A and B are shown apart, each in its own frame.
Chain A
Amino acid sequence: MPATLDLYKMYETLTTEEQQIWQAAQNFVDKEFMPIISAHHRDATFPVELIPKLGKLGFLGSQLPEEYGCAGINNRAYGLIMQELERGDSALRSVASVQGALVMYPIWRYGSQQQKEHWLPQLAAGEKVGCFGLTEPDFGSNPAGMLTNAKPHKDGFLLNGSKMWITNGNIADVAVVWAKLDGKVHGFLVPKDTPGFTATEIKGKFSLRASITSELSFNDCFIPKENMLPEAQGLKAPLSCLSQARYGIAWGAIGSALATYHCALDYSKTRIQFDKPIASFQLIQQQLVEMASDITHAQLLAFRLAELKDQKQVRPAMISLAKRNNVRMALNTARTARNILAANGIVDEYPIMRHMMNLETVITYEGTHEVHTLILGQHLTGVSAFE
Chain B
Amino acid sequence: MKIVVCVKQVPDTATKIKVGADAKTIDSDGVEYVISPYDELAVEHAVRIKENNDDVEIVAVSMGSADSDKILRHALAMGADRGILIENDNSCDSFVTAQSLANAIKEENPDLVLCGVKAVDDDCSQVGGILATLLEVPFIWSAAELSYEDNKVTAQNELAGETYTVECELPCVVSIQKGSVEARINSLISIRKARKKEVNNVAATTSEAVMQTEKLELPAAKVGGRIVGEGPEAVAELFKLLREEAKVL
Contact = CB atoms under 8 A, between A and B. Distances in A.
Interface stretch (A23-31, A132-140, A236-244, A300-308): A23-31
Contacts of B34: 1, 23
A21 interface: yes
A122 interface: no
Interface string A9-37: 00000001101110110011001000000
A31 B192 CA distance: 22
26 contacts: A1-B14, A1-B32, A16-B70, A16-B195, A17-B191, A19-B70, A20-B186, A20-B191, A20-B194, A21-B191, A23-B34, A23-B74, A24-B187, A27-B185, A28-B185, A57-B185, A57-B188, A58-B187, A62-B188, A66-B189, A71-B187, A71-B188, A71-B189, A72-B192, A73-B192, A77-B188
A3 B14 contact: yes
Contacts of B70: 16, 19-20
B69 interface: yes
Contacts of B12: 1
B134 to A, nearest CB: 31
Nearest to A57: B187
Contacts of A6: 30
Which of A1, A3, A24, A71 has the largest number of chain B CB atoms within 10 A?
A24
Nearest to A32: B185
Interface residues on B, range: 10 to 19
Nearest to B182: A31
Contacts of B32: 1
A151 to B, nearest CB: 42
A59 interface: yes
B10 to A, nearest CB: 12
B113 interface: no
A56 interface: yes
A72 to B, nearest CB: 7
A59 B74 CA distance: 18
Given A17-B192, A71-B192, A73-B192, A56 B73 contact: no
Interface in A61-81: 62, 66, 71-73, 77
B185 A20 contact: no
A21 B69 CA distance: 15
Contacts of A59: 188
A24 B185 contact: yes
B186 A24 contact: yes
A17 B186 CA distance: 11
A134 B116 CA distance: 53
A383 B77 CA distance: 51
A3 B14 CA distance: 8
Contact of A20 (B14, B30, B74): B74
Contacts of B77: 20
A72 B194 CA distance: 14
Interface in B48-97: 69-70, 73-74, 77
A73 B195 CA distance: 12
A19 B77 CA distance: 12
Give me the 3 closest cross-chain CB pairs, A-B, nearest first. Answer: A58-B188, A71-B188, A27-B185
Interface string B185-217: 111110110110000000000000000000000
A73 B188 contact: yes
Which of B32, B73, B185, B186 has the largest number of chain A CB atoms within 10 A?
B185
Contacts of B194: 20
Contacts of B186: 20, 23-24, 57
B195 A17 contact: yes
A2 B32 CA distance: 11
